[in-house]
Amino acid sequence: MSKLRIGFIGAGGNTRSRHIPGFLELDDIELAGVANRTRESSQAVADEFAIERVYDSPAELIADAAIDAVCIGTWPYRHRDYTVAALAAGKHVLCEARMAMDAAEAAEMLDASERRPHLVAQLVPAPFDLKSGATITRLLEEGAIGEVREVAVVALNGSALDPATPVHWRQQTRYSGRNIHSLGIWSEVVQRWLGEARTVMAHGSTFVPERMDPATGESTPVEVPDTVAVAGSLMNGAAYTYRVSNVAAGTHQNGITVFGTKGVIQWLPNDTASLTTDGEEAQPIVPDSGTARGWRVEADFVTSIREGAPVRFTSFPDGLRYMRFIDAAWRSLQDGCAVEVQAGSGTNQG
């Protein structure tokens, strides 16, 4: 088997802690090149992981015929440009989440991938439910809790409580686009279990309007709310709520709760879940045999390239679907009213 030569565009925390080690565990993989934000930082990553070549720019890496596949680990503001360019150059693409700055960019990425179906295009998935998600989906489809009436997502932390905390790139729209902190990653999980949203109403609050930019040492506006509440209806008719906050520390229980006419499924952030039916005591949900997954993003990517296995976690069509929801939440924040989730382009809608 010939070696698969991987190039890395952007080598931040997730790339260094997850993707590069994940590829190193696989056979016949060569870490062929890296292009980070500066040549110095690229060289540091190359030295750390014995990556063969440092490129002066992502464009140079993409243009190199020796590169077979590209792992894009930048912030969302570069995902579309590098993905479209890499696909046009005949490279397979693994792109970090969130997919793009907004749904329009995500649609461009999907279109570029559909015009080159021989290339693998994969997004890094929301990793929260890799162990229990398939079993929860089966239970919901089989009606274990009856008809689903509501799903409630709680994702609270206190990471932005201190006004002296520097601004994070997720709080700057020029880097994050319309993504709102962890709303997108949670919505990807809900989408897996219950499908897409139909309507969105969002409200946000920003308590520290300016923070220090560590790149300049100067004060800069905070452009993404510190806390957001989102509500609406899913395509299946169920109601949903999200509470996502970076200014709510405490002993609250984060997680996802699905309420049905006959019972409740509760999922916790350690990827354990329970099922309560007919008022009985909650019972742990044991993952179905062969369905519990660990982190295997890089292995899945390589398997899709070498064996033609379909991309499941996460495909570009699924990415466009969650970006449509994120887009709608952002529009609702700006307009102060409920909005419909707009249908997007792409041939895969089911």
Contact 266, 281 (CB under 8 A): no
pLDDT reported for residue 343: 67
> What sign for the dihedral angle of Cα 315, 113, 35, 301?
positive
Region of residue 285 (left: phi > 0; alpha: psi -120 to 50; beta: else): beta
- Chain centre to alpha carbon of residue 346: 19
How does pLDDT run across 279-322, given as a tens digit for each residue? 789 999 999 999 999 999 999 999 999 999 999 999 999 999 99
What mean pLDDT value characterizes the chain?
95
Between CA 33 and CA 45 the distance in angstroms is 10
Give me the pLDDT at residue 252, please: 82
CA distances 295 to 11, 129, 178, Å, are 19, 11, 27
DSSP letter assigned to residue 171: G
Whether the pLDDT of residue 114 is over 80: the answer is yes
Give the per-residue pLDDT at 206.
97
Residue 119, both tokens: 């290339």
Residue 345, pLDDT > 80, answer no
DSSP 8-state class, residue 170: G
**Residues 63, 292: Cα–Cα separation, whole Å:** 39
Return the pLDDT at 280.
Answer: 86
In order of start, what are the domains of the chain with their CATH numbers?
4-127+295-314 (3.40.50.720), 133-293+326-335 (3.30.360.10)
pLDDT of residue 250: 84
> What's residue 1's pLDDT?
67
pLDDT at 348 over 70: no
Q: For residues 49 and 33, what is the distance between their CA atoms, to the nearest angstrom?
A: 11
DSSP-derived secondary structure letter, 1: -
Mean pLDDT of 129-143: 97
Is residue 6 a contact partner of residue 29, using CB atoms and an 8 Å limit?
yes
Pairing of strands 255-260, 239-245: unpaired
Specify the pTM.
0.93
**3-class secondary structure per residue, 93-157:** EEECCCCCCCHHHHHHHHHHHHCCCCCCEEECCCCCCCCCHHHHHHHHHCCCCCCEEEEEEEEEC
